[in-house]
A and B are shown apart, each in its own frame.
Chain A
């Protein structure tokens, strides 16, 4: 089984620490990897980039022992490397922080952090004090001093869970630490924190593999970058010798369409959705949130994780009960008892978490697209399967969805295409108001631009869009104006001319509003 670390001979000086040559992996007839070659030098931070479905995740799963490869050679420190289980990969010092969360929700943070090696007392019992101390030390080291290690993981927000997961991976000695899209759920502040952690482990001589869709991050912390496309490695470049634009070109194999013409003149219509002092059960604020969303307008909501952004959307959509405040749709006051009422009023909600809330992964693309509009594809309760398939094809074509058949399970699609299915589900209802929570989370650069174009088109057609995002460039590309939230209150509103990351951050950190833009 797992060889102890010391037993593995160290690499010859001219040999790369990890080398991968001509790696291939098939799933049935589908080529997931079709010739992947790259190498890792000891102690470097190496970025893997490429569109979703390009093969990065498959490579990581092979390196971490989730499944074996079909052809090609992998060697680690000069020895052939072919782990048969994640346990064996860990024995070789290869650690992965996966995109999906692998935390145990009902256990405490401390228990999760120590789960691989629980500290024991002399009598072989669980040493809870030592366990909590370890967790405390680990969290303090990355600046999460305000988190109680004895509380269950389920009480944490999604960003904090990601950090806990990273902390857990750092508990055992690793030689190669693979971070699979670690920043997808993080805000800028936490991303900064993560970079400090990465710099720290690099200084300890650990090799870091960094998978990200954010090229600015890649350029901020990586030494080299390997680009994937269609299951192949295209090239490895020194970061110092390339540019983000060059990397993007390698990724898509063509020049990206020029950045969206962001500044098209456009006059918003009448009020489509207005909320007055909305306070939901999930939010602790007293005065609540007020906003007025007009037809044809895209309003962005910025703020740190925990500022209450998602709660606004959930409150509007009737998921979280409303404690206080009023809701107006097209100027008429309404009350939703649940999502059903909100949908009937022409509202759609693209949720943050497509796996848990947006999609039924094992069900076909067509069934997912029709989930919110089953009346349109049925007659007195009987499904019109032919019409459902036709509508799915139309919906897919409109959004440039890449898929095999409409009867394929959604889980067979890449992240960007899954997100398009979520969009298609709501567009099938032709909503008047669309709420979007992190609409491009875990989506690659190419699909991102396509989704932006779709959203802009919707606004042009008179749909009112309310977009929550942790990516400031995203909001600045999309929105006509940005509301910045902190502690469940709107701290300020920025108009297009005032858009800048600095202005958003100032408001998000609750600094004096005069410093940036106008106040409400």
Chain B
């Protein structure tokens, strides 16, 4: 065993701990290797246009993965985010197309509608699984179906379109080639990073993931923090819905199918432990990039989308195997 692995026994809480830094550096190196690989073997990978493309493509997954990080850190999982996103988009689509509002009011209404819908679904997920101490895997699987059904019901299975022009503009706006919606996602990453590392709330999220009983006996309401984690996840699904609407200028009730799995993959590739208590949202950011760069680069290199999917699967499995070794060396 080398000195490096021994130092991995350092705690996971502070972002500045040796272990977290080393660990994120490892994922960062993997990402860098991918970028170099694709830059060498394809012509168009490292062009401004393609970089803009990648940033646009990973935005929604990154937003969903930020919320998912909270849920996975407390040892839960949320399978409903893709459906909830579609549901929130449809509700917001109905709101934004209500007659009698100016563009500004309509957009504000849509934002409120989408976030409230997401939050509501998140609260339900959290409250039900926390109150009856049921596995969130099952509860959110139920919510996956409920939200999808609700989206289809509310929209009558029709795609909603013709949104205000300003909304569309926000979806395609760029600052120096960086999509504004990606900046929104980055701000969310920053907020999550701050909350997880510098607030009592974040401390207890890690604590609950490690040992919920010890946290409860220290006088904290584990129940409340669990609900909060799922609520945050629902909220990010609502925000993702707005970004999705602004980018495509439609609300489709069949949007977001399978998005939950990509979000979970980003969190896991980013090194957050599925059993909770260990990980970081910076890792999630890198994980989302790895998935996005792989998807983009493999297609540029000429592989089929099916091959891309297979390779993404391999990366997820490798990430979990690496996590196994990290946990093993941390405990000896």
The chain A residue sitting closest to B210, CB to CB, is A360
Residues of B near A13 (CB, < 8 A) are: none
CB distance B218 to A408 under 8 Å? no
Question: How many Å from the CB of A322 to the closest CB on chain B?
Answer: 17
CA distance A108 to B204 in the complex (A): 35
CB distance A340 to B3 under 8 Å? no
User: A407 is contacted by which of B10, B204, B210, B332 (Cβ under 8 Å)?
Assistant: B10
Residues of B near A408 (CB, < 8 A) are: 10-11
A452 at the interface (CB under 8 A from B): no
B167 at the interface (CB under 8 A from A): no
Question: How many Å from the CB of A8 to the closest CB on chain B?
Answer: 29
A359 at the interface (CB under 8 A from B): yes
CB distance B9 to A409 under 8 Å? yes
Interface residues of A in 313-338 (CB under 8 A from B): 317, 319, 338
Residues of A near B217 (CB, < 8 A) are: 317, 319, 339, 349, 351, 357-358
The chain B residue sitting closest to A340, CB to CB, is B219
CB distance B214 to A358 under 8 Å? yes
- Stretch touching chain A among B30-38, B193-201, B228-236, B252-260: B193-201
User: When A362-B277, A381-B199 are in contact, do A29 and B14 touch as well, CB less than 8 Å?
Assistant: no
Number of B residues, CB within 8 Å of A: 37
CB distance A425 to B218 under 8 Å? yes
Residues of A near B1 (CB, < 8 A) are: 27-28
CB distance A372 to B219 under 8 Å? yes
A361 at the interface (CB under 8 A from B): yes
User: When A339-B219, A359-B211 are in contact, do A383 and B11 touch as well, CB less than 8 Å?
Assistant: no
User: When A381-B201, A383-B198, A385-B198 are in contact, do A29 and B6 touch as well, CB less than 8 Å?
Assistant: yes
- Stretch touching chain B among A164-172, A363-371, A507-515: A363-371
CA distance A371 to B220 in the complex (A): 9
A412 at the interface (CB under 8 A from B): yes
Residues of A near B13 (CB, < 8 A) are: 363-364, 367
User: B211 is contacted by which of A28, A356, A383, A412 (Cβ under 8 Å)?
Assistant: A356
Residues of A near B278 (CB, < 8 A) are: 362
CA distance A374 to B220 in the complex (A): 10
CA distance A358 to B1 in the complex (A): 31
User: When A343-B219, A363-B13, A409-B11 are in contact, do A27 and B6 touch as well, CB less than 8 Å?
Assistant: yes
Residues of B near A412 (CB, < 8 A) are: 9
A290 at the interface (CB under 8 A from B): no
Binding site for B on A (CB under 8 A): 27-30, 67, 317, 319, 338-340, 342-344, 349, 351, 356-364, 367, 371-372, 374, 378, 381-383, 385, 407-409, 411-412, 425
B207 at the interface (CB under 8 A from A): yes
B221 at the interface (CB under 8 A from A): yes
Interface residues of B in 185-205 (CB under 8 A from A): 198-201, 203-204
CA distance A137 to B217 in the complex (A): 40
CA distance A411 to B12 in the complex (A): 12
The contact sample of 10 A-B pairs, CB cut-off 8 A, is A340-B221, A342-B219, A349-B217, A357-B214, A360-B207, A363-B207, A364-B14, A372-B219, A381-B199, A407-B14
CB distance A409 to B210 under 8 Å? no
CB distance A374 to B211 under 8 Å? no
Question: How many Å from the CB of A343 to the closest CB on chain B?
Answer: 4
User: When A344-B219, A349-B217, A361-B211 are in contact, do A27 and B12 touch as well, CB less than 8 Å?
Assistant: no
Question: How many Å from the CB of A469 to the closest CB on chain B?
Answer: 19
B7 at the interface (CB under 8 A from A): yes
Residues of A near B213 (CB, < 8 A) are: 356-357
CA distance A508 to B211 in the complex (A): 34
B215 at the interface (CB under 8 A from A): yes
Q: A340-B221, A385-B14, A408-B10 are in contact. List 6 more A-B contacts (CB 8 A).
A: A29-B6, A338-B221, A357-B214, A362-B210, A363-B11, A378-B199
Question: How many Å from the CB of A120 to the closest CB on chain B?
Answer: 32
B206 at the interface (CB under 8 A from A): yes
User: When A339-B216, A382-B199 are in contact, do A407 and B17 touch as well, CB less than 8 Å?
Assistant: yes
User: B210 is contacted by which of A342, A363, A383, A425 (Cβ under 8 Å)?
Assistant: A363
Residues of A near B201 (CB, < 8 A) are: 381
Interface residues of B in 294-332 (CB under 8 A from A): 330-332
CA distance A317 to B13 in the complex (A): 29
7 closest A-B pairs (Cβ-Cβ)? A28-B6, A343-B219, A372-B218, A364-B11, A371-B218, A340-B219, A409-B11
Residues of B near A371 (CB, < 8 A) are: 207, 214-215, 218
CA distance A374 to B198 in the complex (A): 12
B5 at the interface (CB under 8 A from A): yes
CA distance A374 to B206 in the complex (A): 14
Question: How many Å from the CB of B105 to the closest CB on chain A?
Answer: 33
Residues of A near B6 (CB, < 8 A) are: 27-30
User: When A371-B215, A407-B17 are in contact, do A67 and B11 touch as well, CB less than 8 Å?
Assistant: no
CB distance A67 to B203 under 8 Å? no
CB distance B203 to A367 under 8 Å? yes
User: A382 is contacted by which of B17, B198, B210, B214 (Cβ under 8 Å)?
Assistant: B198
CB distance A340 to B220 under 8 Å? yes
Question: How many Å from the CB of A139 to the closest CB on chain B?
Answer: 30
Residues of B near A343 (CB, < 8 A) are: 218-219
CA distance A177 to B332 in the complex (A): 23
